[in-house]
Amino acid sequence: MVIGDFLANVYPWTKALHIISVVTWMAGIFYLPRLFVYHAEQVTSGSDTDVLFQTMERKLLRLIMNPAMIATWIFGLALVFTPGIVSWGEVWPWTKAGAVLAMTWFHHWLGYRRKDFVAGTNTRTGRTYRMMNEVPTVLLVLIVFSVVLKF
């Protein structure tokens, strides 16, 4: 069986798993900056609460967000290689790809910010994290409109 035939046969499963992965990833992408807001505004470095926040942030990133991002990429690429799903001559796949790359950058930015809290060197305010928390919303809207409306 050719890989294209295989991907076409499992397309509904791939699509479902991609959607589940995206939803899981987005839940973490929305929640981690919110944790950073409270961590930056209400927690003293080195306190028991600081350790608690660091634990929650680490587990959210490593146990939920990282696997969900990887699964999103794997199933998304499988969809890209499924015959007849993506036409690279249109604009929408490029728009979506750019937004997904930006979302991946944001994910890694959050990972670096988590390390700042661990090192006790966070210099960003809760307001900064609140503003940055809007980035994934804009990217999500762009991704969904790109795929559904094909613009």
Instruction: Read off the pLDDT of residues 115-135 as tens digits, 9 standing for 90 and up.
Output: 999 999 999 999 999 999 999
Q: Can you tell me the distance from the alpha carbon of 57 to that of 39, in angstroms, rounded to the nearest whole number?
A: 10
**Tell me, what amino acid is at 93?**
P
What average pLDDT does the segment 15-19 reach?
98
Q: Kindly report the pTM of this predicted structure.
A: 0.94
Tell me: the pLDDT tens digits for 58-97?
Answer: 999 999 999 999 999 999 999 999 999 999 999 999 999 9
What average pLDDT does the segment 17-41 reach?
98
Closest CA to 117 of 44, 64, 62, 60: 44
Q: What is residue 45's predicted lDDT score, i.e. its pLDDT?
A: 93
Q: Can you tell me the distance from the alpha carbon of 104 to that of 141, in angstroms, rounded to the nearest whole number?
A: 15
Q: How many residues does the chain have?
A: 151
**Which uninterrupted H or E stretch holds 53?**
helix 48-59
**Which residues 6+ apart lie within 8 Å of 102 measured at CB?**
135, 139
Tell me: the pLDDT tens digits for 27-38?
Answer: 999 999 999 999
Asked whether the beta carbons of 74 and 151 are under 8 A apart, the reply is no
Q: What is residue 151's predicted lDDT score, i.e. its pLDDT?
A: 82
Q: Can you tell me the distance from the alpha carbon of 131 to that of 150, in angstroms, rounded to the nearest whole number?
A: 28
Q: Can you tell me the distance from the alpha carbon of 99 to that of 64, in angstroms, rounded to the nearest whole number?
A: 21
What average pLDDT does the segment 33-57 reach?
97
Q: What is residue 1's predicted lDDT score, i.e. its pLDDT?
A: 64
What sign has the CA pseudo-torsion 34, 35, 36, 37? positive
